[in-house]
Structure 1
Amino acid sequence: MAPFSLPAPAKLNLFLHINGRRQDGYHLLQTLFVLLDHGDTLDFQPADTLSLRCDNPALPVDDDNLVLRAARLLQQETGHTAGARLHLRKRLPAGGGVGGGSSDAATALWGLNLLWGLDLDVDTLARLGLSLGADVPVFVRGRNAWAEGVGERLQAVELPPLWFLVVDPGVSVSTARIFGDGELTRHTPAITLPASLGAATFEAFLKEGHNDCEAVARRLFPAVDKALDWLQSEAGNARMTGTGACCFAHFADQQDAHNALRHLPEYWTGFVARSTEISPLHEALATLRARQNSGPA
């Protein structure tokens, strides 16, 4: 098969409520995932052995990287022995709460499923993804989703089109550190997902939500605190995604988001992105399959 590339899109948690804690230590939560048209890229090339390169020298390219772990998991599950030459082109910050590692793993599962001709279905890939991380299945399934449990119970939702400014305050936040903090709120009452999320309903529903991890991240990471305050002054609806560190605000249109980005302090980085109904990964997979099925010109 000829080499190909697939996107690994970012996600935002539009809110994140922690409703309790299981006896095994995992937190019970409710969150609303939205997928963006911005992210990393993973290149796939046939090879006899399995290898990974990354254009970010700070990231590991051994089994500490979820891309390689996803590849080895597929080999173990299927008995497949061929390799692949993988190249990860990073745009998303590590420890940013935008799902970079989890999205990379999901793209690796789908890409190798195609490269190796495994023909595994979405449910199987989502099950494998869950063993790599709680956020991986939402990227595998490729739809905006309402999530409950430890994040594994997903319900696809349709959301109105949204534009976001995402700000990276330049710090890496450990999920374990946030979830292990003694001051983390763990008893937010459960809420119910509305039957439909039109523009007006969505805005009202979003206002009900918050991120229980935000107070802890503000206290531990002053840069997160400052980024949230700046975004709030620009847009009035600032929120942190996941366990941090990235913060975001949504805007009425692309131009408003870009206007805010132009005012971003130079010591931070940021990007403007649009929400998607279907993941860019799944759109790219559909294009590749169509190309394969059409055969030579």
Structure 2
Amino acid sequence: MPEKTDPTLPDGTIRCFAPAKINLTLHVTGQRNDGYHLLDSLVVFAAVGDRLWLTPGSDLMLEIAGPFAPGVPSDARNLVWQAAELAGWCGHIRLEKHLPHGGGIGGGSADAGAVLRALGVQDGAVSLGADVPVCQFGRAARMLGIGDQIAPAADVMSFFAVLVNPGVHIATPTVFQNLVVKDNPPMPDLPAAGSGDRIWIDWLAAQRNDLEGAARQLAPAIGDVCSALAETDEVLLVRMSGSGSTCFGLYPSMSDAQTAAKALATRHPDWWCVPTVLN
């Protein structure tokens, strides 16, 4: 995976990499009286993501560029802006969007987490959203509670994957509202250190994304994506990430992932299809 934060440039600019967050599992285990849902999720990060440049200055400004810039706010509604304010930092931020927003792979949370990590902020990330603390951590982790409990998962193996987004935006709160059963079983212990590919794939196959059914009802295209991934050669596992609509397939090799991504992109040119490594 590329470095998440590059060295500071001569003019004081900090370059950041905000990798896509992938929920290999997502178990919803309860709901608190205040409405927050309790989660148990194994999170890894992809070698694809957004990029940011933070240049110190007297005023906070946010510039949005990149293929997924349209529709992204450049004011205080943006989590990047809120992260800078949380850090007490001012200046010009250029955000280059390469990840589809509203896709269940971090999006704004990944960007905010990268900013907080680059600026050395230690506390308060969960106030920006449940995914921000794990995105700030930026490495494989088990995410618990309302996203505020992060346990490193250094023994998780790397996976070759294809990420697919059908261009459908789903609001996370709406998915949770559509979830019927909210007290599902938590994850069992992760496979032991040094476990091979087959053990990991079998373990993952026995886990769940409890939001997938609710998301599919809201966006049937998710089912189309999962079916298309399941039909690709050599695929080992197919699942939705986060609250959708991005889904992923796992493969034995990068060559297999690249072949699958090319085939999917040919059949569905309007889908975002990216081969990558998860770790």
**Shorter-chain TM-score above 0.5:** yes
Deviation of residue 223 (structure 1)?
1.2
Aligned residues: CA RMSD: 1.6
Q: What code does the residue aligned with 2:91 have?
A: A
How many corresponding residue pairs? 258
Match of 2:276 in 1: 273
| Counterpart-to-counterpart distance in 2, 1:220 and 1:236 | 26
Match of 2:31 among 21, 39, 46: 21
Q: Deviations over 1:7-34 (max 9, x none)?
A: 0111110011111111111111211001
Match of 2:209 among 208, 211, 216: 211
Match of 1:116 in 2: none
Match of 1:53 in 2: 63
Deviation of residue 98 (structure 1)?
0.4
Deviation of residue 167 (structure 1)?
0.2
Question: Is residue 253 of structure 1 aligned with residue 253 of structure 2?
Answer: yes
| Counterpart-to-counterpart distance in 2, 1:233 and 1:162 | 19
Deviation of residue 273 (structure 1)?
1.1
| Counterpart-to-counterpart distance in 2, 1:192 and 1:20 | 16
Q: What code does the residue aligned with 1:48 have?
A: S
Match of 1:284 in 2: none
Question: Is residue 32 of structure 1 aligned with residue 30 of structure 2?
Answer: no
Match of 2:127 among 128, 131, 134: 131
8 Å Cα contact 2:201/2:236 also seen in 1: no
| TM-score (ref. length: structure 1) | 0.83
Deviation of residue 110 (structure 1)?
2.8
Match of 2:5 in 1: none
8 Å Cα contact 1:46/1:84 also seen in 2: yes
Q: Deviations over 1:181-226 (max 9, x none)?
A: 1x43312212322362522432232011111111111111121111
Match of 1:240 in 2: 240
Deviation of residue 266 (structure 1)?
1.4
| Counterpart-to-counterpart distance in 2, 1:230 and 1:164 | 14
Larger Rg: 1
Runs ≥4 in structure 1, deviation > 3 angstroms? none
Alignment of 1:97-176 (within 5 A): 97-111=104-118, 113=119, 120=120, 125-157=121-153, 158-176=155-173
8 Å Cα contact 2:160/2:257 also seen in 1: yes
| Counterpart-to-counterpart distance in 1, 2:191 and 2:253 | 26
- SS of 1:15's equivalent in the other structure is coil
- SS of 1:180's equivalent in the other structure is helix
